[in-house]
Structure 1
Amino acid sequence: MGSVAPPKAEALMTKFKLRDLDLPNRMVLAPMTRGRGTAAHVPTPMMADYYTARAAGGLLITEGTFISPAAIGWANAPEIYSDAAVAAWKDVTAAVHAAGGRIFCQLWHTGRASHSAFRGDGSLGVAPSAVAIRDGSVHLPDGTKAPYEVPHAMSVAEIQATVGDYVKAATNAMAAGFDGVEIHSANGYLLDEFLQTHTNKRTDEYGAGSLENRFRFLKEVVTAVTGAIPAHRVGVRFSPNGVFNDMGTPDFRAAYTYFAGQLDAFGLAYLHVMDGLAFGFHKLGEPMTLPEFRAVFSGPLIGNCGYTLEAGEAAVAAGDADLIAYGRPWIANPDLPTRFADGLPLNADEGGMATWYTHDAEGYTTYPTAAEAAAAKTEPTVDRAEGPAAAAKVL
């Protein structure tokens, strides 16, 4: 008997209108930290090559991009607050657009996941409350690791100044040629920390136990950003089921249903939900699913985390998601949409985590397309990227 032919994507290959953006397919490049910026956090020409090679996706979302010096928490990850970074990002967006792609910049503040070593003045990372991440360690700029520090609890004035940082980052992103921005409010970083009771112990208008107060910071950010750039070019990301960065709030179902419902009024580009469990699950109840968000959010919905071709097809075909974000399979397969559409085998991620966050081309721009592999008469290694073990560490 012959081998069974790999499945081909159909629903994922259909066109989609993301508000005023025409997307050729439903596949989204998930934001993934890769550490290929300079030590000063400025994008590099290598990053233009990386994103351009993936421009056939319906939408590309950049790796987390720092909105201010206070937001920094990862070595060689890029920023979007300086003139130098804006100029460098222009080269990236121009290359992606020349290749026919569309690209959003993910706006990132690492909050309590940062460390004083990332700031010249030795200041602590910030958070809603002085609650440290309990497990694991932070990777420092010099390549060593250290325990997480107890963060500085933000004052109201600091919160409001950070809202301004988001606005500046968003306007800089548009000036750099991005098609829009994604506000990262997931995975235990700053905005997510305000949403969850595990990290938000405040007794003022940004906490005090109420959903309205916990949502206030994110609402102010979204309000300010959509006042500066069109709302239909702004997305928001949530991780209601996630445990990454020591997260999980007991009322997660009621909380994220409320937050999504509140965001619906803004007319956003999309809501990006990490509904899959491959990135870790807090086990505080049955996991939230995309239909729960569909019931309260009427705009475009992106599903994410551990999706296979088959799972993505099913979610789009059922109407549970409009778009599906893929992470790790796209690391080793720059032409992932073509491979999915044509039922081609995938390159294995041979470097694995050892090359995910290094600072050179190996494991970043060195994986061949199917056409390149065929031309070189090499046989792509099959790796269907199925199951939780195949999920990318999407930060």
Structure 2
Amino acid sequence: MSSALFTPLKVGSVTVPNRIGMSALTRSRSSASVPNDIMKDYYDQRAAGGAGLIVTEGVLITRQGTEWPNAPGIWNDEQVAGWKKIIDSVHAHGSKIYAQLWHVGRVAHPQAPEQIAAGVPVYAPSAISARGGNFRHIEGAPGYVTPTEVADPTILVALFKQAAVNAKKAGFDGVELHGANGYLIHQFLDSTSNTRTDQWGGSVENRARFALETLKAVIEVFGPDVAIKVNPAGGYNDMGMPLQETLDTYEYLLREADKLNLAYVCLARYSPWLDVEFDGKKRATPHDVPETYAPFLPSTNIWVNTGYTPEEAETAVSSGKIAGVFFGMAWITHPDVGKRIQKGKPLDNAPDYATLYGAPGVDPAKGYTDYKAAEY
């Protein structure tokens, strides 16, 4: 393949060897929120397989605020030590690795084990529940519940900052804020989940405040090695505004973010797979996300995500408008996506959806570290 995807790129203060990223992918293999050896094997395989920049699965910034069992965290020293082993292994292959800092906000559940252990409410911008939900690890498979409006959002900003401190201690090259897919930061941005009347809601500027203040707090820790992922098209977790309101909100957010000297912004394009239907109507606001919002980031590296083929990725990076492309599902089913693209090998491993997030009584390696690399 031509060389556009395989040219080095300065990302924040580090240089990645190519423009092929591995996006954050929830896999639920940690040991009670602590990164473990099988996770190390998984990330090691993919660094060896040609990922220039790896973004971890969502890393919980606090015990409070998770809907996923066995998702890893970064709020204590044991977790930091577990991540350090993974980071050292990734670095040994020449790849770089960012932690995706994650708080799920209103889509947590008060009966989830970690939420109970935290002893605090399910916090969100406003007391508005998301429709849908299916908590398979909670008896009765309940859906989403009405959250508690957080009185002072700065307490949540502080949790992100402390998570960044811990990520720095672990040795991550940078951090990416999860501002997409209906989680906490996205909830503040969207007028359907944020109906506050204080400085954190109402106007575009107020709804963007939480994302921007969190970015600034994390920059105090990581300097230029901070990024954010956004999904303006929405859909997943009951998110999405009318088109004009979406355009206005994200134009403001990204123009302000462009002033912060970020490592990159990841623009996730619309995905039918992540769209949901309520009352016979799709929830998302489909539009061309990269084309629409790239002009608002003239000083920032733009990475794109969601369903790109190698050919599309090559075209996007060759255009000069896009710095890099994050692949998702391809990295789940192929430990060597980068090498396959470079050598012209097909991405032809079929996914095992039954073990995507692990399964009770099943070897955690199944559907995780047992996908085969190509022969070279």
TM-score strictly above 0.5: yes
Distance 1:184 1:354 in 2: 25
Encode CA deviations 1:345-391: one digit per residue, 9 max, x unaligned. Answer: 2242241x2111006000100011113xx7xxxxxxxxxxxxxxxxx
1:357 is the counterpart of 2:357: yes
Structure 2 residue matching 1:116: 3-state secondary structure = coil
RMSD: 1.7
Match of 1:246 in 2: 238
Identity of aligned residues (%): 37
Match of 1:135 in 2: 132
Distance 1:36 1:284 in 2: 30
Distance 1:268 1:37 in 2: 29
More off after superposition, 144-153 vs 248-257? 144-153
1:267 is the counterpart of 2:261: yes
What is the CA distance between 1:160 and its match in structure 2? 1.2
Match of 1:370 in 2: 374
Code of the residue aligned with 1:146 in structure 2: it is P
1:311 is the counterpart of 2:315: no
Structure 1: 5+ residue runs without aligned partners?
A: 1-7, 375-395
Structure 2: 5+ residue runs without aligned partners?
A: 276-281
- Correspondence 1:219-230 to 2 at 5 A: 219-230=212-223
**After TM superposition, where is structure 1 displaced by more than 6 Å over at least 4 residues in a row?**
none
- Correspondence 1:75-224 to 2 at 5 A: 75-118=69-112, 119-120=115-116, 123-140=120-137, 142=138, 145-156=141-152, 159-207=153-201, 209-224=202-217
Encode CA deviations 1:34-54: one digit per residue, 9 max, x unaligned. Answer: 00101x200111111111111
Code of the residue aligned with 2:373 in structure 1: it is T
- Give the conservation status (yes or no) of the 8 Å contact 2:268–2:289: no
Match of 2:292 in 1: 292
Distance 1:161 1:222 in 2: 14
Match of 2:225 in 1: 233
TM-score by length of structure 2 reads 0.91
Structure 1 pair 286–66 and aligned structure 2 pair: CA distance change class (3 A): closer
What is the CA distance between 1:144 and its match in structure 2? 5.8
What is the CA distance between 1:177 and its match in structure 2? 1.0
TM-score by length of structure 1 reads 0.87
Distance 1:155 1:283 in 2: 28
- Give the conservation status (yes or no) of the 8 Å contact 1:36–1:47: yes
Code of the residue aligned with 1:310 in structure 2: it is E
What is the CA distance between 1:186 and its match in structure 2? 0.7
What is the CA distance between 1:23 and its match in structure 2? 1.5
Encode CA deviations 1:300-321: one digit per residue, 9 max, x unaligned. Answer: 0110001111111111112231
Distance 1:20 1:123 in 2: 37
Encode CA deviations 1:3-45: one digit per residue, 9 max, x unaligned. Answer: xxxxx3642222222233211111110101000101x200111
Number of residue pairs the alignment of both structures matches:
358
What is the CA distance between 1:268 and its match in structure 2? 0.5
Structure 1 pair 275–183 and aligned structure 2 pair: CA distance change class (3 A): same
